[in-house]
Every structure is written in structure tokens, then in C-alpha cells.
Amino acid sequence: MKPIEQCTLGIVGLGLMGGAIALALRNRGILPASGVDGSLFACDTKADVLSAALGSGLIDESFTEAETMLRECDLVFLCLNPSTLLRFMKDHMAAFKSGALITDIAGIKGAISAVMEKDLREDLDFIPGHPMAGSEQGGFANAERCDFRGKNYILTPLRRNKPENLRYLEDLILRLGFGRVTRTDPEEHDRKIAFTSQLCHVIAAALIDCEADTAITRFGGGSFEDLTRIAMLNVPMWTELFLENRVELLRRIDQFEGSLDALKQLIAEGQEEGLQERLARVRDRRTAMKNEN
Amino acid sequence: MKPIEQCTLGIVGLGLMGGAIALALRNRGILPASGVDGSLFACDTKADVLSAALGSGLIDESFTEAETMLRECDLVFLCLNPSTLLRFMKDHMAAFKSGALITDIAGIKGAISAVMEKDLREDLDFIPGHPMAGSEQGGFANAERCDFRGKNYILTPLRRNKPENLRYLEDLILRLGFGRVTRTDPEEHDRKIAFTSQLCHVIAAALIDCEADTAITRFGGGSFEDLTRIAMLNVPMWTELFLENRVELLRRIDQFEGSLDALKQLIAEGQEEGLQERLARVRDRRTAMKNEN
């Protein structure tokens, strides 16, 4: 790969994450100004988003048809939902520039990794990725709310990924502001993410689902707000993530219910000592997690 | 009641909340400087806490025996755990200055309200209260982390409370920085708080309880951290709150489990449309809660 400032970069899907990546590329001086260094292209189905991004100098060129853009891009960020992503790769496989480095941002990695191991063109490199950042307010208009600083980024490399491309992408990710890049396999990613991300969203949704009184927030002290902020979710995307990763997610829900039932029983039986012991273990474990971070 | 700047104020228990109230009284100019306006007294069992508070000018006088202090105080904040609070009132009922206004901060109101309706001295006024603020880091040393700005404060007045004392306390609460004071009865308080506060803490604890790998935070993107921050809990206090409010809390856990099971079933059966509908209702409801706030 050429140095990033000599590359033509393409973003497919200028939503929350696509927009946030474009902003980080500009604001962090990776591509200092429109037209000066390497080019930043974007394609999207929304004409108003493209014209806003073009008008502000965020991107150098906009495309409504991906083919034209892909033919010129050395590096492509696919910022699409999992199902759209698979279809997009199938439909546009022929359009990519030979030698291009491609990466995605989908929150589940099993299916895309399996398909790419099998079907990716020989002269392309595709590194599946998952930036652990976001905002409950979606879309390009909220891209500025998506803060990368210190956040986690997971890569689930294919067997065929070139080591130098992996290092190249990891370096770029850190320059975008992320705090840590972890390499793992797609199975482990999907298992862990079922817990840290999908289970948390299901729990937040269930908490809101079981209380119809919207004035309950008069009795909120921060915990409730923190636990349920993510219930303001992007419905199609999370439906897709829950269903796509359902085996792992259901396993995690069962585990969580087991722990919840154990606590419930201690409370129901008034077992003060047992409850204190269990809560002390929880407190220490969560504190260890914080210190590990 | 005299104007606050002519009062002698006493804080019983200079922990996180007692310390935060003292800080707010000073920093917001309600009692501008030690010794100039009304006096601020505090009693605590920890000598080091008292000497730190005295040394910094936060309080005017410190007491290890409550009796001596209570005899001089026009207004008393009881910043104690629920069980300690009931015992304290029983043991010190005779010590309060005649006409004193007393309030507490305990996170559960049923028992204290019932006892005070019955046993409070005729010449005292006790207004049960619950500041909906805190920090997962407890103790006086962390009092500065406890931010009152815009937070909720619940009062569960006794039938015998003087209307002018209720207004007096509400005015003081708002001057301390709280955003909203809600009056309700102790039963409603305990029902609502079982949901917004205790259930959230049980859920956070269960989430940590079911995953032993402390390095899971490498796969965290903010949701997990937000949902489990409160799992670093003050174990004795929360054990007490869970057990004291167990009837309402168990009812809320059951409700939550019902919603969680419904979502689990939609996921297990791959009901995309049903899941989207339910999540959309959740999203809209949480958005309405946010706008209501």
C-alpha cells in the first residue's frame, strides 16, 4: 500500500460510522484538506447527505453508483449493515481496483468472514473489522457524536490477509483515535460481542419494555438513564444483529438469567450474608475490569 | 424556620452524601464561609473525616457524639443507611432542639415514614427525602464526585409536616443544585425506586456475575461499561436496600424477566417483524422519557 496521503479512499455508506471515519480522517490531519492530499470519496443512496458532505469539503467527490468510485479506490471502508454488506460485496466484486485493501464495520463477523475467505477476488485484500464506537443517535447528521477516542477496535483477519496490510490498517485505526486494536477470530468476536454489546441492548430494551410510565424518569438518579440510553436504538440494524448472532446471544441471555435468578433467590430468601458475598465478588470483578481497561 | 444563613445546620454522617451536601452549602454560597454566616456542624464516627472537614473549613465544628450537636441544630440532615437511621432516631429522639427541621437521605422510605408518623416528638418536624444522586465511589473522600446539578430529589412528606417547612426544604434543595423536587407518598417512592434504582443495580450485578473474564472489556464499546458501572457498589448499603424493599424489587425483577423472555422468544423464533415492532415501541418510549426529562 502507498502512504495514506497518496491513496484514494472510498467510503461506502455515509451514515453515522462512515461520516465519523471521514471526519476523523480530516480532523486528525490524516488527510488534511480536501484536494490537497489523497482523495476521499464517498457513495451513498442519500443525495442530501452526499451534497452536505461535498459542500463542507469533507469529501472530495461523491457517487451514487458505487462501481465508478470503487474502480479508483486503494482503500475502501464499507460502512453498511451486515445483510447489505454481503449483498454489496456479491454485486460489486468485479468493480474493485486490483490490489485494493477493503475493510468493513459490521457488528457481527462470522458470515462476512466465511464468505470472504471463499469468494473474495484473488487480487483483493479484505480485513473484517468492528469499531466499538457509536451513538444512539444514528445517521450522518450525528457523525460528530461518534467519538473514537480511546475506544476498542476489533479485527478478525482472514487467513489470506497480507501481514503488511494488517499493520497498515491497524496503524490507520490508531491514527483515527481508537485506543486499542484487538485481533481475534470471527467466532470469538461473535461470542464476546453477544455479551458486551447485544445482550446489553436486549437488557436495555427489556427494561423499557416492562414499564409504560414515561414519567418514571422523575424517579431516575442516573442508573436507569445509563442502563437504558441504548434502548433508543437503530431498530433495523439491531434486529439484524440479534437475529444474525442469535445462537450466541440466546446463550448469553440464558447465562444472564441464571445470575439474575441466583440474586433474586438470595433477595427472596433474605440471605443477607450470601447476598453480600455475591455482591462483593461482583464489585471486585467489575473493579478489576475497570483497572484492566 | 429562620433564614438559612441564621441557622445552625447539622449533618449526621459525613460520607459521600453528607460531604456532598456540605460542599454544596459552601460552594453555592448558601453558607458562604466558615464562621461568617450560619454554622455548619457535622458528626461522624470517623475522626480522620471530621478533622479533614474541619481543617479545610468545610464545617465549623465537629462532633463524635451526636447529642451535643443535635441540641444546637435548627436543621439536621441525617445521612445514614436505612437501618442505622431508624436506630439513630430511636436513640437520639430526646436530643433534638425543639422546633428542629429534620430530613434524611435514605433510598427507601416506607419504614422510616411509618416510624416517624408514629414516634416523632410533637415539637419536631421530620421530612423524609431521597436525593437521586450519588457515585459508585463512596465515602467522604469522593464527595466531590457527587454532582447534584439537574438531579431529581424525592420527598415523601408525613401527614404532620408543616407546609412552610416543606417549602423551606424544597427551596434549599433547589439551591443545592438539584433540578427537580417531586413529592409523593412512601409507597409510590418505594415502588418506583425499585424499578429505576434497585432493579438497575441488580441487573448490573447479574451482568458482571455471569462473566468471569475480566479482559472482556477489550470487546467493550461503551454499552457494557455504562450498564455495569454501578456494579462497583457499596455492598452493605445495597444489600440493605434490596432486602428492605424486597417485595417491590422482586415484583420488578419478575416484570423485567417477562419482557426479557418475550424478546428472547422473538429472537429464538427469528421473528424479524415482531422483533422490529417491539424494539420500535421501546425506542419510542425511551425517546419520550428523554424528552419528558
> pLDDT digit string (tens) for A179-206?
999 999 999 999 999 999 999 999 999 9
- A279: chain B residues, CB-CB within 8 Å: 205, 233, 235, 238-239
CA–CA–CA angle B27, B30, B32 (5° rounding): 65
Contact A203 B207 (CB under 8 A): yes
Number of domains, chain B: 2
The string of pLDDT tens digits covering residues B23-72 is 999 999 999 777 666 799 999 999 999 999 999 999 999 999 999 999 99
Contact B197 A223 (CB under 8 A): yes
Return d(Cα A285, Cα B57) in angstroms, integer.
37
pLDDT at A141 over 90: yes
A contact residues 55-94, partner B, Cβ 8 Å cutoff:
none
Averaged pLDDT, A233-245: 94
- B276: chain A residues, CB-CB within 8 Å: 235-236, 239
Average of per-residue pLDDT values in chain A = 95
Residues in chain B, total: 293
For A202, which of B231, B263, B285 is closest by C-beta distance? B263
For B280, which of A219, A235, A257 is closest by C-beta distance? A235
* A12 & A135 share domain: yes
Domain boundaries, position B205: 189-292
* A25 & A59 share domain: yes
Average of per-residue pLDDT values in chain B = 95
Q: Are the CB atoms for A203 and A256 separated by under 8 Å?
A: yes
Instruction: Report the relative pairing of strands B61-63 and A129-131 from DSSP bridges.
Output: unpaired
* A94 & A125 share domain: yes
ipTM for the assembly:
0.90
* A105 & A208 share domain: no
Query: Which residues neighbour A264 within 8 Å (Cβ) at sequence distance 6 or greater?
Result: B202, B250, B253
The string of pLDDT tens digits covering residues B202-223 is 999 999 999 999 999 999 988 9
Q: Which of B184, B218, B239 is the last residue of a domain?
A: B184
* A147 & A194 share domain: no
pLDDT of A101 reads: 98
> Of A80, A121, A82, A115, which is closest to residue A101 (Cα–Cα)?
A121
pLDDT of A36 reads: 67
Position A293 confidence tier, pLDDT thresholds 50, 70, 90: low
The CA–CA distances, whole Å, from A267 to A11, A262, A272, B244 equal 52, 9, 8, 9
Return d(Cα A61, Cα A34) in angstroms, integer.
9
Contact B214 A292 (CB under 8 A): yes
* B128 & B242 share domain: no
pLDDT at B137 over 90: no
Return d(Cα B275, Cα A237) in angstroms, integer.
12
* A176 & A210 share domain: no
Which domain CATH number covers B124?
3.40.50.720
Q: Are the CB atoms for B108 and B132 separated by under 8 Å?
A: no
Q: Which of A184, A200, A227 is the last residue of a domain?
A: A184
Å between B17 CA and nearest CA of chain A: 13
Answer whether B33 touches A (CB < 8 Å): no
* B231 & B288 share domain: yes
* B220 & B165 share domain: no
Answer whether A227 touches B (CB < 8 Å): yes
Position A272 confidence tier, pLDDT thresholds 50, 70, 90: very high
Position A134 confidence tier, pLDDT thresholds 50, 70, 90: confident
* B211 & B172 share domain: no
The string of pLDDT tens digits covering residues A68-122 is 999 999 999 999 988 899 999 999 999 999 999 999 999 999 999 999 999 999 9
Which domain CATH number covers B279?
1.10.3660.10
pLDDT of A13 reads: 97
* B155 & B256 share domain: no
Answer whether B206 touches A (CB < 8 Å): yes
* A249 & A168 share domain: no
Q: Which of A160, A184, A208 is the last residue of a domain?
A: A184
> Of A78, A201, A87, which is closest to residue A136 (Cα–Cα)?
A201
A264: closest chain B residue by CA: B250
